[in-house]
Structure formats: C-alpha cells, structure tokens
Amino acid sequence: MIRSCDSHSIELTHRPLNAKLAITEGVTSAVAVVDTEGDIEVGVWEHSVGESTDTEVEEVFVVVSGRGTVTCDQGGVIELAPGTIGILPAGSRTTWKITEPLRKVWITLA
C-alpha cells in the first residue's frame, strides 16, 4: 500500500545533544522515525543553530528547511538549504554548522 506524510507537520521534541557531539554549548536535536518498508527507514531530524559532530550511517537526505553546512573529515562540503539532497557514506565523520534551524528528511537502510 502506498502512503505519505507531511514532513513539516511532524512534531519533534528537542533534547540537548550528547556532550561528546556538541561543539556549541546548548545545541539540541530531535528525531522521529516516520516509516519503515523492508530494510528502508525514513525519518525527520532537526538541529538547532550551532555546531556538532557525528559519525554517520549510510544515509540520503533532503533539507526541507534551514541552512548551514556539513563537512566531512574524509573530504567534501554540502551547503545545506531547502531542497538540498545529501549523501552520507557510512562511517563518515561529519561536522554540522547550522545557521538557521535545520529540518531534513532522511532515508537509511535499517
């Protein structure tokens, strides 16, 4: 059966980022798994203004609101803006510099 949702209307609860990941004090994030189908998982993620790091799982995402950049220790920079499609290889060490609260829809293999 086909299905859909409005990524803007999904309510998220922000929590402080783990101190090991937060570069900027007080940075928050929020996540919600929206659906799964077979090995595919789809969700919505938000990040407050500020800077953080992460080690990525294999992911494709689309920015729906907000701005910033994500850089990778292994090379590459993605300018984040509404409509940007990003591809994050598994194991990538990234730094997220968010200048406007960011919301993205992500797709991973569960």
Reported as a single tens digit per residue, the pLDDT across 54-99 is 999 999 999 999 999 999 999 999 999 999 999 999 999 999 999 9
What's the rounded Cα separation, in Å, for the pair 79 and 88?
Answer: 13
The CATH code that applies to domain 36-109 is 2.60.120.10
What's the rounded Cα separation, in Å, for the pair 56 and 89?
Answer: 7
Which residues on adjacent β-strands are paired with residue 35?
42
The pLDDT of residue 110 is above 90:
no
Give pTM, 2 decimals: 0.94
Give percent of the chain above pLDDT 90.
97
Q: For residue 19, what pLDDT band results from cuts at 50, 70 and 90?
A: very high
Half-sphere exposure of 58 (CA within 13 A, CB side): 4
Q: Decide if 12 contacts 66 (C-beta within 8 A).
A: no
